[in-house]
Amino acid sequence: MTDDVITKNRREFLGASALVVSATAIGLSAMTNAPASAADHKQNPFTLVYDGAITKNEPGKVNIHPVTYKLNGLDIVANVYTPANYTPQQKYPAIVVAHPNGGVKEQVAGLYAQHLAEQGYITIAADAAYQGGSGGQPRSMDKPQFRTEDIHGMADFITRYAGVDTARLGLLGICGGGGYALAAAKVDKRFKSIATLSMFNSGRVRRNGYVDSQLATIQQRLQQASAARAQEVAGGAVLYAGDANLTDAQIAALPFDLYRQGYEYYWKTHAHPGSTFKYTMSSLLDLMRWDATDQIDLIDTPLLMIAGSKADSLYITEDAFAKATGTKTKELFKIDGATHIETYWVPKYVDAAMGKLKTFFGQHLASA
The answer on pLDDT for 37 being more than 90 is no
DSSP class per residue in 88-157: TTS-EEEEEEEPPTT--TTTHHHHHHHHHHHTT-EEEEEPPTTSTTS--SSTT---HHHHHHHHHHHHHH
Query: How far apart (Å, rounded) are the C-alpha atoms in residues 198 and 312?
Result: 10
Residues 195-216: tens digit of each pLDDT: 999 999 999 999 999 999 999 9
Average pLDDT over residues 12-19: 31
Query: For residue 307, what are the β-bridge partners?
Result: 334
| pLDDT: which is higher, 273 or 29 | 273
Predicted local distance difference test score (pLDDT) of residue 23: 33
Query: For residue 98, what are the β-bridge partners?
Result: 173
Query: How far apart (Å, rounded) are the C-alpha atoms in residues 6 and 278?
Result: 11
Q: Which sign does the torsion angle of CA 15, 16, 17, 23 carry? A: negative
Cα 80 to Cα 223, 227, 256: the distances in Å are 41, 40, 34
Query: How far apart (Å, rounded) are the C-alpha atoms in residues 80 and 263?
Result: 28
The answer on pLDDT for 71 being more than 50 is yes
Predicted local distance difference test score (pLDDT) of residue 250: 86
Strands 92-98 and 122-126, by their bridges, are parallel
Residues 94-108: tens digit of each pLDDT: 999 999 999 999 999
b/e sequence 271-280, b meaning 16+ C-beta within 10 Å: bbbbbbbbbb
Average pLDDT over residues 59-83: 98
The residue count for the chain: 368
Query: For residue 197, what are the β-bridge partners?
Result: 174, 306
Strand 191-197: give its sheet, edge to edge: 63-71, 74-82, 122-126, 92-98, 164-174, 191-197, 303-308, 330-335
Predicted local distance difference test score (pLDDT) of residue 200: 98
Closest CA to 115 of 38, 192, 52: 52
| pLDDT: which is higher, 247 or 244 | 247
Q: Where do the structural domains in the chain lie, given as residue ranges? A: 3-364
Classify domain 3-364 by CATH architecture.
Answer: 3-Layer(aba) Sandwich (3.40)
Query: How far apart (Å, rounded) are the C-alpha atoms in residues 24 and 55?
Result: 32
**Residue 163 contacts residue 88 (beta carbons within 8 Å):** yes
**Residue 295 contacts residue 321 (beta carbons within 8 Å):** no
Predicted local distance difference test score (pLDDT) of residue 339: 98
Give the end-to-end CA distance of the chain in Å, rounded to a whole number.
42
